[in-house]
Amino acid sequence: MTIPQASGASSVCRELAWPAALGDLAARATDPSDPAVAAWGDPPVIARCGLAPLEPTTLECLAVNGVDWVVRPLDDGAAFATYGTDPAIEVLVPSAYAPEPMLLTDFTTVAKSLPRTERRCIG
């Protein structure tokens, strides 16, 4: 599956209220001209808004607090993208924070603020 590039041009992405912290991880400075990107901790957890809605995939799909996330393994952690939102959010979580899906609960409010499509995880 090819993950589309993010485009923070969406007004929805520019107006997101990213979490102030992810558990014990404090927010890090990011490019102030791009409010669609946020980061926390060291090594950083990075979130970005503006991906095109994901197409159906055979990758694992998790439901966390009513938000569906497609999981893509990385060499050092995992990438999670909202499924069924337009635009989508991608969260990159280093393996230092394993189990990586545990951080997704902190993104529930921001993910639920995105416009929904009819797509959902199956099962």
Report pLDDT digits (tens) over 38-65. 999 999 999 999 999 999 999 999 999 9
Predicted confidence band at 5 (pLDDT cuts at 50, 70, 90)?
A: very low
Beta bridge partners of 34: none
Report pLDDT digits (tens) over 90-122. 999 999 999 999 999 999 999 999 999 999 998
pLDDT at 123: 66
pLDDT at 11: 85
Residue 39's H or E segment, with its range, is strand 37-40
Residue 81 CA from chain centroid, whole number: 5
Structural domain boundaries in the chain: 11-112
Q: How far apart are alpha carbons 91 and 62 in whole angstroms?
A: 13
The rounded mean pLDDT for the chain is: 91
Q: What is the DSSP letter of 111?
A: H
Joined together, the tokens standing for residue 70 give: 């497609």
